[in-house]
Amino acid sequence: MTAIPFFTNKKIAEGTYQIKNDFTSGFDTYAYLVEGSNYALLIDTILGLGDLNAYCRTLTDKPVKVVNTHSHWDHVGGNFNFDSCYMHPKDIGFFQDVIGFSKEDIFGFAKTSAKDEYKDLLECDENFAGTHPIKVYPVIEGDVFDLGDRRIEVVEVGGHTPGSIVLIDNKTGICFSGDACNGNTLLEFENSLPINVYLKNLEHLKTFASKFDMMYGGHEVFDKTIIDEGIETASRVLAGTDDKVAAKGMTGNDICYAAARKEDGTGRADGKRFNMSYDPSRITGEEEINQVI
């Protein structure tokens, strides 16, 4: 199975690696391994296609802890190669919903996602783990992962999911931003927060902007000025002056995009970078502070 490049990495800073699956086709999804003097922190685990724990051992000899920016499958799929993870409490319940996928389910997804030259090489072996209960530890804003010679700070930026977080590395000036603010920020899901709450959280994130320069996200990389574009775009939605481009969401629901896109769907027609989808019936609302059980 060595002929299959389950993972590749790119070194983006000292002791900092961007990891992705390289045998699949379609859009890229990234995990990040940040190595400290005491332990390494793995930020997100992508799709569970390949043994990510074993791959991390080729990059560091330090113990590895896992933290997830949010609970969507393309960020937690590889959690099940590890014994535990850290996650915001508001997303833990959604993470539990993926428990129950078998090894065969994940392998089937790999076969569907693989580039043509790798499809026939795949085997349902140790590179694929079914989903099963693991320990989940909560993290909230103000928590710090002290890796020894670098500290990674947790900041809450709920919107895409209620418990979305970003992680700021004081050593490199990098914000690991998950799906919190990017060129296709999806606020169309049933558990996404209303736009007024998301705007407040973007404004909160901006107060930390002096601590970082770049935002390495789950699918894209931007400089921090995309936060300003996000604030501007969300403000237009609240004012009713956005482009309101009608579309179908990922679950088949009726949604809008705040800004018109290029015909090929690769970005905004006006050349700006940030865009967002949203449910037009959920533009304003209250954030639920406590759990509803």
CA separation for the pair 277, 192 (Å, rounded): 11
Place 213 in a pLDDT band, splitting at 50, 70 and 90.
very high
What is residue 117's three-state secondary structure? helix
Element (DSSP H or E) covering residue 67: strand 64-67
Look-up of token digits 């989903």: 131
CA separation for the pair 167, 215 (Å, rounded): 10
Residue 84: both structure tokens together: 């535990």
In the prediction, which pLDDT does 292 show? Answer: 61
CA separation for the pair 108, 79 (Å, rounded): 18
pLDDT digits (tens, 9 = 90+) for 118-148: 999 999 999 998 899 999 999 999 999 999 9
Element (DSSP H or E) covering residue 136: strand 135-138
The chain-wide mean pLDDT, for the chain, equals 95
CA separation for the pair 180, 177 (Å, rounded): 6
Pair type for strands 40-43 and 64-67: parallel
In the prediction, which pLDDT does 1 show? Answer: 42
What percentage of the chain reaches a pLDDT higher than 90? 91
pLDDT digits (tens, 9 = 90+) for 33-86: 999 999 999 999 999 999 999 999 999 999 999 999 999 999 999 999 999 999
Kindly report the backbone phi and psi dihedral angles of residue 267, in degrees, each rounded to the nearest multiple of 5, phi listed first.
Answer: 175, -175
26 or 21, greater pLDDT: 21
Residue 176 has pLDDT above 90, yes or no: yes
Place 26 in a pLDDT band, splitting at 50, 70 and 90.
confident
| CB 32 within 8 Å of CB 52 | no
Residue 2 has pLDDT above 60, yes or no: no
pLDDT digits (tens, 9 = 90+) for 161-170: 999 999 999 9
CA separation for the pair 2, 129 (Å, rounded): 18
Q: What is the dihedral of CA 172, 177, 183, 187, to 10 degrees?
A: -170
pLDDT digits (tens, 9 = 90+) for 234-260: 999 999 999 999 999 999 999 999 999
Q: Which domains does the chain have, with CATH numbers?
A: 7-119+126-278 (3.60.15.10)
160-183 burial code (b ≥16 CB/10 A, e <16): bbbbbbbbbbebbebbbbbbbbbb
